Amino acid sequence: MASQNFTSLAEIMATGAINFRTDSFKMLLWDDGIIPTEAELDTWTSRNEATGREHGASGNYITGGFAVTATVEVSPDVDNNNIEISFAETSSPAFASATISSAGGILYLNTGLDSTDLLIGWVDFEGVVASTNGDFQVTFNNPITITV
């Protein structure tokens, strides 16, 4: 599965519940080779629906995930009618002394409560990435694309 937006992202944006330039965002890692199903991407809206699959704390990775910063593309792509939003890790370059095995993670709007944290997208690592008592690095290769 490739990285995908949660279907609820359209409603979140339409109701003005999110501002990619000013809001706080996080990413949580999913355990091992688990990836969300199409039905989950279509129906899940808040972080509490995804926490049962979150990877446990290890090294300096904590449950609930890590802070990420969103950057909105300066100029929309008028030829393809979309805008790109890129994310970058803000907490540390790697999770040190961590034993983690993950196929991806979930980006979410951080409100501070798992029942109100709004899901944005699934980031697919394109295979399981693992570390054993070592550094676990998260690298964002592709932005989220919002098509209008």
- The yes-or-no verdict on residue 43 having pLDDT over 90 is yes
pLDDT at 23: 95
Pick the residue with more confidence: 49 or 84? 49
pLDDT at 93: 56
Average pLDDT taken over every residue of the chain: 87
**Residues facing residue 119 across a β-bridge:** 108
pLDDT in tens, 61-109: 999 999 998 888 877 888 888 888 888 877 555 788 899 999 899 999 9
Q: Find how far residue 40's CA is from the centre of its chain.
A: 14
- Report d(CA 63, CA 28) in Å as an integer: 7
Neighbours of 122 (CB within 10 A): 23
- The yes-or-no verdict on residue 127 having pLDDT over 80 is yes
Pick the residue with more confidence: 80 or 8? 8
Write phi, then psi, for 49 (nearest 5 degrees). -75, -20
Write phi, then psi, for 45 (nearest 5 degrees). -125, -30
